[in-house]
Amino acid sequence: MKTIKGPAIFLAQFAGDAAPFNSFDAICKWAGSLGYKGVQIPSWDGRLIDLGKAAESQTYCDELKGIAARHGLQITELSTHLQGQLVAVHPAYDTAFDGFAAPEVRGNAKARQEWAVDQVIKAGKASQRLGLTEHATFSGALAWPYMYPWPQRPAGLVEEAFDELARRWTPILNKFDEFGVDVCYEIHPGEDLHDGVSYEMFLDRVKGHSRANILYDPSHFVLQCLDYLDYLDIYKDRIKMFHVKDAEFNPTGRQGVYGGYQSWVDRAGRFRSLGDGQVDFAGIFSKMAANDFAGWAVLEWECCLKHPEDGAREGAEFIKNHIIRVTEKAFDDFAGAGTDVAANRKMLGLS
């Protein structure tokens, strides 16, 4: 068994224009002061990282690692959630997602998609230079507007969407294989890869690619009423990253899973700060330890009520207290009598 590394923190929700959140050095100092041991970097945020430079310059990557180390931190992973989203965008979402792209490719779906692929590949190369072996991203979505089958979906629609998704991602996965880095898709509503079945549909189409892996975030499964503990056992060999995020689901006579178009505060399903929701983290960390998860426990703060700085401060201690330092011996070793073949046969009544 392995002891999970952590606590670490995903910086995306904290980066901003005010100190200490406006530079990599300052935000690392802040994270280190809270007790974090690692930081996950959103690769699209130029205040924290120059992705193009990181893909090209080993010196720059060494400098980034040095900044983190100065504050007692490691860089755990890079993220391309926004760029990965743009690898596959249904036209219904063109306008909404255009803001994720560089200004020069907005309004041009083909150019935007090519830019996104280039960005993800650059992040893979940067991950290699940083000595990282996992990378976080989204799959994007072509079939999501047809998630609920009304009107009835025409035969082959979903299959064609997943065929195309695999065509777009296979060359990227092959590049990541060259880099020695796993692509970890956050299984997330809004993405075509949003549960176990949809992940398997994709995995079949990329021929079980060894780099097509999972970022596990139980909060999204609470909101889908999916058994997130069973999920850990089913996909333990594919789960390479872990976002520690809490959530709650409180259906009423007026709304349930779909939320009635309400804001986050008013939805039946809401994201919460660690310890304020319903996720069974004791069960999750136990299964992670039993399943030999070797990665990082990374706080992703998304709460509709609590201030992010309070969530970050409390989250470091919460994760620290849930990490199980795995045992190197069995609790009943003291009663062991050693191995004696003759004695074993005698106990079994065998001559």
DSSP string, 35-62: T--EEEEETT-TTT--HHHHHH-HHHHH
Answer whether 113's CB lies under 8 Å from 89's CB: yes
Helix, strand, coil fractions of the chain, as percent rounded to 5: 45, 15, 40
Answer whether 98's CB lies under 8 Å from 150's CB: no
* 216's tokens: 């596990």
Q: Residue 241 and residue 224: Cα distance in Å, rounded? A: 20
pLDDT of residue 1: 81
* 84's tokens: 């990965």
Which domains can be identified in the chain, with CATH numbers? 5-347 (3.20.20.150)
- DSSP lists the bridge partners of residue 41 as 78
Instruction: Give me the sign of the Cα torsion angle 58, 64, 70, 74.
Output: negative
pLDDT of residue 329: 78
Answer whether 140's CB lies under 8 Å from 85's CB: yes
Q: Residue 153 and residue 248: Cα distance in Å, rounded? A: 31
pLDDT of residue 67: 98
Q: Residue 171 and residue 106: Cα distance in Å, rounded? A: 23
Answer whether 100's CB lies under 8 Å from 85's CB: yes
pLDDT of residue 328: 80
CA distance readout (Å), 22 to 19, 36, 39, 81, 246: 5, 18, 15, 20, 26
Cβ neighbours around 259 below 10 Å, total: 16
Question: From the first residue on, what is the mean pLDDT of each consecutive set of 10 residues in the chain (351 residues)?
Answer: 95 98 98 98 98 98 98 98 98 97 97 98 98 98 96 97 98 98 98 98 98 98 98 98 98 97 97 98 97 97 97 98 89 72 89 72
Answer whether 8's CB lies under 8 Å from 296's CB: yes
Q: Residue-wise over 3-34: b if at least 16 C-beta within 10 A, else e?
A: ebbbbbbbbbbbbeeeeebeebebbbbbbbeb
Q: Residue 44 and residue 102: Cα distance in Å, rounded? A: 10
- DSSP lists the bridge partners of residue 249 as 269
Answer whether 316's CB lies under 8 Å from 27's CB: no
Instruction: Give me the sign of the Cα torsion angle 155, 259, 83, 209.
Output: negative
SS3 11: coil
Answer whether 15's CB lies under 8 Å from 43's CB: no
Rounded to two decimals, what is the model's pTM? Answer: 0.95
Answer whether 223's CB lies under 8 Å from 245's CB: no
Cβ neighbours around 231 below 10 Å, total: 21
CA distance readout (Å), 37 to 9, 22, 50, 74, 239: 8, 20, 22, 6, 21
